Structure 1
Amino acid sequence: MARFVGRDRELRILRDELARVRQADDDRPGRCLLIRGRRRVGKSRLVETFADRAGAPFLFFTATGEATEMELARFSQDALESTLPAKDLLAAGNPANWGDALRLLAAVLPDNAPSIVVIDELPYLMDDSQAFEGVLQRSWDRYLARKPTLLILIGSDLSMMAALDSYERPFHQRGREMVIGPLNPLDLAGMLEMDPPEAFDAALVTGGLPLICADWAAGQDLWGFLDDALANPTSPLLVSAERSLAAEFPEHAQARTVLGAIGSGERTFTNIAKAAGGIGATPLQRSLSTLIDKRVVAGDLPLSTRPSKDRRYRVTDPYLRFWLRFLAPAMDEIERGRSDLTLNRIRRSWTTWRGRAVEPLVREALGRLLPDDHIPAAPAIGGYWTRTNDIEIDIVGADRAPVARQLLFAGSIKWLENSAFDDHDLADLQRHAAALTDQPLPLVAVSRSGTSCEGAHATYEPADLLGAWDPR
C-alpha cells in the first residue's frame, strides 16, 4: 500500500472528535462529522487510517448506488467484517429497510466505550424525496446520538453533501462539516523529494490526488513521470478523470461536452458555445449551472469596484484541467502506443498552459500567507480583466468580491523557467493597476525565477508560496 503522507491536521480533527465522544458526560454523547471532497482526494483512506489507529471498534460501510435490498445486504456484510463487539447480531438482523438497519446498529453499539461508524459515498443513498435523510435524522435523534459513537458520513458529490446540512433538510445542524482537499504543494514537495518550483508543477499535473501521486517516484522529474505514466494505458493519470466523470455525470452528456470545451481553454460563454458544437444559450446555461453546482467549474467575475458581467469559466481541479487539455484528446494515440506524440505536444504547450493554470494556486497561497510586512490580508483575492483583454491583472486583493468597496493590492505572476520578473513586467503591472483605479495600490510580484527589478512592495517565489501550507 502507498505510504500515507500529510493529513496531519485532518487526523488531529478526527482524533479530537473521538476524544469529545469519549469525554462526554451527558445523555447524548454521540457526534457526527460530515466529510466531503472531490473523488480520489483520499477521504476514505484518511478515515480508514484514522479508524485503524484509533483503537475503538468501528464499522465502515460503503454505499454503491444499488437497489435498497442490495445496499442492506452489503451493510450486513460490512458489519461482519467490522470490529464491533456484537457484529454477528448486527449482520444476522436482516433489516428490511434503513430505519430498521440503523435502529439495529444503535442497539449493538457499545454503551460504555466509544465506537466509530462510517457511511461512505452517502449521496448514493440520497434522493430528491429526502427519504433516507429523514430516516437518518430520526435514527440519529432517537438512537445513535444516545450512544458514545462517532458517526462519519462521507461523500464525493460536493453539492449533495453541502445540501445535507442546509436549513431546509432533515439532518440540518446535526453534524460538523469537514472538507478534504487534495494533497497540497508542500505535501508533494516532501513526498516526492522536490524543490518548490517542481512541487507546483506536480500539483498542476496530479491535482494532489494521492492515487496519482503514488505513481510518481521520489526524485523523479516531471517529464520522467509523464513519460512513464503515458506509456501505461492503465496509469491513474490517464484513467482517474474518466472514471470520476462517469460517476459524477452519468446522465449529463451535454455537461460533459461543455466541460470539454472549457478544459480545452475556452473561457467565455460565447466561445464555449462555439467549441461545444454551437449549443444554444439556454442549454449551455443549464449545463454550466450543473457544472458549477457540482463545483467542477467556477465562473469568475473581474474583481474591482465596478460591476461587470464579463464572466470567465475555468475547471477548478488542476488535474482535471490538465487531463482535459492534454490527455483526453490524445487517448487514441496513447492506446496505439504513440504516447511520445502526446508528450511532445505537452512539452510545446507546457509553459503557456502552466502560466495560466498556476494562477488560482498562487492566489490561494497568498490568501493563506497574508498579511505580511508590506501587504495586508484580503478577504477576497481574484483577478481583473476587460472584455477586450487590453487590461489584465493576475492578482487583485479586495475587501469583498466581486464588487469591492476597497481594493487592497494588485499583482502580476511571471511563471517562467529562466526569466525573472523584470522592470518591463513591473511597468506593465503599474500601467494596468492605474487603469483599475486612480488610487495608489501596493504592488505584488510573483515569479518562478526570482525578481530583477525594484519597486514592487512585495515579491514571492515558489519557496515563499510553499510556506502557505505550513501549519506552524
Structure 2
Amino acid sequence: MTFYDRDDELAALETAGDSPGHDFYVVYGRRRVGKTELLKEFCADRPHIYFLAAQEAEHRQREKFVEQIADSFGDRVPRIDGWDDAFEYLGDRLDSEHRIVVIDEFPYLVEANDSVPSYVQAFVDEQLRNTDSMLVLCGSSVSTMESEVLGHESPLYGRRTGQIDLQPFSFRQARDVISYDIKEAIRSYSVTGGTPMYLTLFDYDQSLAENIQRRILSPTAVLYNEPEFLLRTELRNPARYMSILEAVALGHTTPNEISGATGIDPGPLSKYLQTLRRLRLIDREVPVTASGKKSKRSQYRVADEFLRFWFRYVEPNRSSIEEAPSIVFDGTIKPDLPSHVATTFEDICQEGIWEAIRRGDIDPYSEVGRWWYGEEEVDIVGLAPDDDRILLAECKWTAEPVGCSLVESLRTKAESVRWGSGTREEQFALFSKSGFVDGLDDEVGDNWSLVTLEDLEAFLAAP
C-alpha cells in the first residue's frame, strides 16, 4: 500500500529515533488508520526489530518474540521461560547494538497475560533507559492502550517519552488519495471517510457509482462485511451495538430516539453508548454554546463516514444486496445519497473554517461547532469570547444556487443563538455546492462570506 501523508507523525518518530538516549513511544488508534504502515515507513532504513503479536497461546507469542530478537542479532535462539527472561535477553542485546523495537498489537500480549506491562516497565526502567534504543508499543484496541499503557494505574504510566494517537485522514489529507474533482471528492469521502485502507481500495479512474457497487455492495468485496468484522474483533456480542449504530446512522440521534428505535432501555443503553464512544465508533455532540459535560441536549453521531454509510445503506438491505445489488444502488442509495453527503459537507466546511483560521485568512474563533435548540439548528457557529464575536454559517449541498431566502433564514436564526453581549459582532457565511444566485453578493453586507466549492478547495489546499 502506498504511504500517504503522516509527515508530522513520521517526523516525530524520526526525531525521537535519531536523538541520543532512549525513547519509549506509544502509537495507537482505531483499526485500519495506518499505524503499521507508519511504523514500517519509520523503520525502513533503520536497524529494527518488528514483532507483530497475534491472538494465540502465550508461550507461542513469547517464543516468536524471542525468535525475532535472535534473528535480528544473528543469535541462536536461547531457551526462555518467561516474559521477564525475554525482555532481559532483549535488554542484554541492546547493550551492544541499538535498535528500534516495535511491538505491534501489544493488546494481544496483555490479553494473554495481564502482567506483561509490568515486565515492560522493568525493561524500560532497568535496561532500555541506559541505551540509545527506542521501544514502540502499538495497538488498535484504544481502550486497552489507554488503560494498560497510558492510564495512571498502569505500571507504564509516566514512562513514555512520546505518543501518537493516529487519527483517520481529514478531508484535506485524503485529497492526496482521492483524485476526483472537488465535488466528486466530497461525495467519495462521504462513503470512505478518512480511513487509509478504505480510501486506497477505491479506484479513482472509475466512477463513484462503480466503486460503491464493486468495493462495497459486492458480497465478495472486503468492505461488504468490514464493520461487522471490526465489531466482532472488539466485542463479544456485537448484535446490540450494531442495532445502535444502525439507528444513529438512520437519524435517531438522541438517547430517547435511539432507545425507541432499538428497544433498548435507557439504563443499559447508556452503557452501550459509552462503550461505542470508547471504541471511537460514535461521537457525542452538544451545542457549541453549551457545556459539554452538563448539557442535556446531547446528540450522537456515527464517528466514521464509512460506518455511517454502511449502517445507513448496507446493513438494512443485506438480503436485497445478496440478490440484486444494482437495484439497491439505483433504487435506494443513489436517490438518497445527497442527503447523506450533506452531513459530510458540513464537516468539511467546518474543516475549511479551521484551516482558514490557522492561516490567518479569517478572524480567529476559539470554538467552532453545530448549534441547535428545539427545532432550530445552525450548521456552523464559531465563538470568539475575547472579542465578543460570533460566526454563523449554513452549508447547502443542493442542486440549485443559494438565494436570498437562506440569507433571511440565517439572520432570523442568529437572534435565537443566545451567546455574547447585546452588541456582539456578527459574521455570516454561506457554503454552497451549486453557487449563488446572481447579485446575491451585492445584497449582503461586508460581514457576509459566500463560499463556493472552488473557494472551499482553496481553503483546504496545502499551504
How high is the TM-score relative to the length of structure 2?
0.88
Q: Is the 8 A contact 1:35 1:154 kept in 2?
A: yes
1:36 matched to 2:8: no
Instruction: Tell me whether 1:348 sits opposite 2:335 in the alignment.
Output: yes
| Residue in structure 1 matched with residue 165 of structure 2 by the alignment | 179
Amino acid at match of 2:17: L
Q: Secondary structure at the match of 2:426?
A: coil
1:73 aligns with 2:59: no
**Native 8 Å contact 2:232 2:238 kept in 1:** no
Is residue 118–residue 156 contact of structure 2 (8 Å, CA) maintained in 1? yes
Question: Is the counterpart of residue 292 in structure 1 residue 273 in structure 2?
Answer: no
Aligned-residue CA RMSD in angstroms?
Answer: 2.7
Tell me the alpha carbon deviations over residues 332-358 of structure 1, each in whole angstroms, 9 at most, x when there is no partner: 222334343234311111111211233
Distance in 2 (CA, whole Å) between partners of 1:415 and 1:340 is 25
For residue 122 of structure 1, the aligned residue among 106, 122, 134 is 106
Identical-pair percentage: 26
Map 1:159-308 to 2 at 5 A. 159-163=143-147, 164-175=149-160, 176-230=162-216, 232-276=218-262, 278-304=263-289, 308=295
Query: In structure 2, what is the Cα distance between the partners aligned to 1:71 and 1:5?
Result: 31
Structure 1's 343 and 309: CA in aligned 2 closer, same or farther, altered over 3 A? same
Q: Which runs of 5+ in 2 are unaligned?
A: none
Alpha-carbon distance, 1:206 to partner: 0.9
The one-character-per-residue Cα deviations of 1:150-202 (angstroms, maximum 9, x if unpaired) are 21111112233233223332212322111222233334433332212222222
**Among residues 394, 415, 437, which one is paired with 2:397 in the alignment?**
415
Supply the distance in 2 between the matched residues of 1:253 and 1:435 (Cα, whole angstroms). 41
* 2:253 partner letter: R
Contact map agreement 2:383 2:391 (CA 8 A) in 1: yes
Is contact 1:196–1:462 with CA below 8 Å preserved after alignment?
Answer: yes
Between 121-130 and 153-162, report the one with greater CA deviation.
121-130
Please state whether the residue corresponding to 1:429 is helix, strand or coil. helix
What is the CA–CA distance in structure 1 between the aligned matches of 2:303 and 2:5, rounded to whole Å? 22
Per the TM alignment, residue 399 of structure 1 is displaced from its structure 2 partner at its CA by 5.2
**Distance in 2 (alpha carbons) for counterparts of 1:250 and 1:385:** 36
1:143 is matched with which residue? 127
Q: Deviations over 1:52-73 (max 9, x none)?
A: 2xx2221111222333213213
Count of paired positions: 449
CA distance in 2, matches of 1:117, 1:406: 51
Task: Output the CA distance in 1 between the equivalents of 2:65 and 2:175.
Answer: 39
Distance apart, 1:425 and its partner CA: 1.4
- Structure 1 runs not aligned, ≥5 long: none
Report the AA paired with residue 393 of structure 2: G
Runs of 4+ with >6 A deviation = none
Matched residue SS, 1:441: strand
The structural deviation recorded for 1:463 is 4.3
Q: Does 1:132 align with 2:116?
A: yes
Counterpart residue type for residue 103 of structure 2: I
Contact preservation (8 Å) 1:57, 1:85: no
SS state at 1:117 partner: strand
Pick from 263, 287, 312 the counterpart of residue 299 of structure 2.
Answer: 312
- What's 2:5 paired with? 6
Q: Do 2:429 and 2:449's aligned partners in 1 also have CA atoms closer than 8 Å? A: yes
Worse-matched range after superposition: 250-259 or 371-380 = 371-380
Q: Distance in 1 between matches of 2:204 and 2:329?
A: 23
Q: Secondary structure at the match of 2:30?
A: coil
Sort the Cα spacing of 1:143 and 1:104 in 2 relative to 1 into closer, same or farther, 3 A.
same
2:30–2:140 Cα contact (<8 Å) kept: yes
SS in 1 for 2:136: strand
Contact 1:216 1:225 in 2 (8 A): yes
- Which SS does the other structure have where 1:432 is aligned? helix
Counterpart code for 2:138: I
Change (3 A) 1:447 1:111: farther
CA contact (8 A) 1:375 1:409 kept: no
Residues 186 and 344 of structure 2 are in contact (CA less than 8 Å); yes or no, is this contact kept in structure 1?
no
* Structure 1 residue 312: Cα displacement: 0.6
Which of 137, 141, 162 matches 1:153? 137
Name the stretch that deviates more: 285-294 or 61-70: 61-70
CA separation in 2, counterparts of 1:466 and 1:181?
Answer: 22
Q: 1:305 to 1:118 in 2, by over 3 A?
A: closer
In structure 2, relative to structure 1, the CA distance for the partners of 1:127 and 1:357 (3 Å cut) is same
One-letter amino acid of the counterpart of residue 105, structure 1:
L
Decide whether aligned partners of structure 1 residues 249 and 398 sit closer, same or farther in structure 2, where only a CA change above 3 A counts. Answer: farther
TM-score w.r.t. the length of structure 1 is: 0.86
